[in-house]
Structure 1
């Protein structure tokens, strides 16, 4: 298993990480709208990180920081995506180890995330990481 390097990305790096986020998404959103949304996200407790293996961008993920009445200070992991050719090689475990360490350094008590219902490989991974399914995420288009 080769070691990864996690590097923070900024809104100026959007053209580098956006294609990876788009691969993860279950429905198509216009690129200009996604860029607008990410610009806003960067202004609201959101951080983006690249997963690098041998100086190649192998994946991406985001982190949100909040305080929730049911979880205390929490780090919500968002849009975790690892390119197909890098999956199954231990990168995910390394990434989440990095996330847990970083979140604790930020004073977080918990970590939470959402996963698409049809993304069964991620469910298995998150359950193996000791995440517990606490409810359903509902979304309504307005």
Structure 2
């Protein structure tokens, strides 16, 4: 298999919607996701993807900012690899590619959120050297 890791062109952002819909039980309509993604690509956001040939099989949003506690940082968002490609080391390769890429932008730390009940992701991120620093709270306004 020939995997390609790359930054998705912002004009193709809606290509990730089928993968994002698999990621969460909090489903948004495609229309809402299209609206939100069109706004996200105008902010400090990029989207890293994995292709197997011409098939999109993985996605990771990249939010850039400077944090008082971490310096120049990237927040990994909606990290997802198609289930058929899991447990083969691809996620680790993807993150290594992302780390290398964001370092060229001066990023010194990576952070992320993961769903509380997503235990396989917790093990994966621990193995990647992430530590739990706090809780992520959300309130709809």
Q: State TM-score, norm by structure 1.
A: 0.93
1:73 aligns with 2:69: no
RMSD: 1.3
Deviation (angstroms), 1:3: 5.4
Distance in 1 separating the partners of 2:72 and 2:14: 31
Helix, strand or coil at the partner of 1:88? coil
Report what 2:105 is aligned to.
106
Q: Is the 8 A contact 2:63 2:74 kept in 1?
A: yes
Report what 2:130 is aligned to.
131
Report what 2:24 is aligned to.
25
Q: How many residues align?
A: 141
Q: Is the 8 A contact 1:4 1:94 kept in 2?
A: no
Report what 1:61 is aligned to.
60
Unaligned runs of 5+ in 1: none
Helix, strand or coil at the partner of 1:27? coil
Which consecutive segments of 4 or more residues in structure 1 shift more than 3 A?
none
Cα deviation digits, residues 44-78 of structure 1 (max 9, x gap): 11001220124422111110110011110001111
Q: State TM-score, norm by structure 2.
A: 0.94
